[in-house]
Structure 1
Amino acid sequence: MILLQAQTAVDSVATSATSAQGISLFDLLLKGGWVMIPLLIMFFLTLFLIFERWLAINSNGKLEESFIDNMKDFVQQGNIKSAESLCRNQRSAAGRIFEKAVGRIGYSIKDIESTIENASHIEISRMESNLAYLGVIAGIAPMLGFVGTISGIINIFYSISLSNDFDISTIASGMYEKMVTSGAGLIVGLVAYMGYHLLNMKIDRIALKLQAGAFDFIDVLQKPITSRS
Structure 2
Amino acid sequence: MSLIQSDSNLLDTVNQAAQQAVPVVRDENLSLIQMMMKGGWIMVPILLLLFIGLIIFFERFLTIRKAAKYDVSLMSQVKASVLSGKLDAALAVCRSSHSALGRMLQKGLLRVGRPIKDIEGAIENVGKLEVAKLEKNINILGIIAGIAPMLGFVGTIFGVITIFHEVEMAGGIDIGSVSGGLYVKMVASASGLTVGILAYIGYHILNMMVERLILRMETDAVEFIDLLDEPGA
Q: TM-score, normalised by structure 2?
A: 0.89
Please say if 1:27 is aligned against 2:44: no
Name the count of aligned residue pairs: 224
1:115 to 104, 108, 122: 122
Q: 1:55 to 1:219 in 2, by over 3 A?
A: same
C-alpha distance in 1 between matches for 2:224 and 2:204: 30
Question: Which blocks of at least 5 consecutive residues in structure 2 are unaligned?
Answer: 1-9
1:16 corresponds in structure 2 to 25
Q: 1:223 to 1:5 in 2, by over 3 A?
A: farther
After TM superposition, the structure 1 = structure 2 runs for residues 195-206 of structure 1, keeping only pairs within 5 Å, are 195-206=202-213
2:6 corresponds in structure 1 to none
- Asked if 2 retains the 8 angstrom alpha-carbon contact of 1:149 and 1:181, the reply is yes
Structure 1 residue 7: Cα displacement: 9.7
Q: 1:12 to 1:87 in 2, by over 3 A?
A: farther
AA in 2 matched with 1:36:
M
1:150 corresponds in structure 2 to 157
C-alpha distance in 2 between matches for 1:214 and 1:8: 86
- Asked if 2 retains the 8 angstrom alpha-carbon contact of 1:32 and 1:178, the reply is yes
C-alpha distance in 2 between matches for 1:139 and 1:114: 37
Q: Cα RMSD over matched residues?
A: 2.3
Please say if 1:222 is aligned against 2:229: yes
After TM superposition, the structure 1 = structure 2 runs for residues 88-107 of structure 1, keeping only pairs within 5 Å, are 88-107=95-114
C-alpha distance in 1 between matches for 2:21 and 2:37: 28
Q: TM-score, normalised by structure 1?
A: 0.90
Identity %: 42
Q: 1:169 to 1:219 in 2, by over 3 A?
A: same
1:73 to 71, 77, 80: 80
1:187 to 189, 194, 200: 194
C-alpha distance in 2 between matches for 1:170 and 1:34: 19
C-alpha distance in 2 between matches for 1:212 and 1:203: 14
C-alpha distance in 1 between matches for 2:15 and 2:77: 87
Deviates more, 1:131-140 or 1:59-68: 59-68
Q: Could you say which structure has the larger radius of gyration? A: 2
Query: Secondary structure of the residue that 1:16 maps to in structure 2?
Result: coil
